Amino acid sequence: MAEFIVRENYAQHTAPSTFLSGENLKTVQSILMEDLPMFDDSVICVALEDSEIVGSVKVTKWNDQIIMPIEKLFGINPARFKNNGVKSIWHIGRFAISKTAKEGAKLLRKLIAIAIFPICCATDSIMLAECDSKFVRVLNLLGIKTEILAKGIIYLGSETLPIYSTQKWLYSYLSHSAYYSEAIDFYCINDPGNHLILNDFEQLMQDANLIHTDSITGDDTKLYVI
C-alpha cells in the first residue's frame, strides 16, 4: 500500500516515469517505517478493482505515546488538544484514489465516510490530518469544515497542510452523506462482535483479520478490502 500512496501522490504532480527513482523508493520505505508504530491502533481500508489497489485510507486512534505524522512533519504535538477538553484524538492518513478508479468520485465519498465514522462516534474527539492543499479545498466543498494549523510544506510532491476537524463538524457532514449506511456496514462486517460503539474500536482492531503480509518488511497489516 505504501507504494500505491507514493505513486498516486507523485502521479498528480510529476511524470509517471519518475516514480521508480531511488528517492521515491526511499519514501516508500519511510512510509512503511512511519506506519509501524501506529499499527496496533489503526485500521486500514483499501479498495480493489481487478485485484489492483485503487483507493486507500488509514484511521488511527492516538494512544498518547507515539509520535504522529503531524508532529513529525509540522512540530504539532497532539497532546496540546487534550488541554482543551478533547477526549480522543484521531489521525486520518494514507488517503489516495487512483486515476484509474472506475467511479472515483463515489469512492472518494465512501472512503471519507469510512474514515470519519469512528471519530463521529467518539464524544469530544477531533481529527488530525496532513492533506494536499487542493484536497483540503475538496473537503470544504463537500461540506466538511476544517481548520489549518500551520503553514504548508512540500510533501509527497505537493503542498501539504496540517488540518483538524471536530467530531461535530464531521458528523454534520456524515449524517447527510449517502455513504453513512455503508460506513456502518463496513464496521459491522469487519467487526466479528458487530460492535458500533466506539469503546469497542480497540476490539475491532484486536479482532482484525491479518490478511496481508507486506512484501518489503514482512509485517502483517490489518487490511480491510471494500
pLDDT of residue 123: 87
pLDDT of residue 12: 63
Cα separation, 204 vs 18, whole angstroms: 39
Is residue 190 within 8 Å of 208, Cβ to Cβ? yes
Give me the number of domains the chain comprises.
1
Cα separation, 125 vs 103, whole angstroms: 31
Residues 6+ apart with CB under 8 A from 202: 61
What the block records as the C-alpha cell of 88 is: 480522543
Domain that holds residue 158: 2-225
Listed as ranges, residues in the chain with pLDDT below 50 are 192-223
pLDDT of residue 5: 67
Q: What is the pLDDT of residues 23-79, one digit of tens each?
A: 667 777 777 777 788 888 888 888 888 888 888 899 999 999 999 999 999 999 999
Q: What is the CATH number of the domain that holds 132?
A: 3.40.630.30
Q: Closest by alpha carbon to 86, among 122, 116, 41?
A: 122
Cα separation, 58 vs 122, whole angstroms: 17
pLDDT of residue 30: 75
> Rounded to the nearest 5°, which phi and psi values hold at 79?
-60, -25
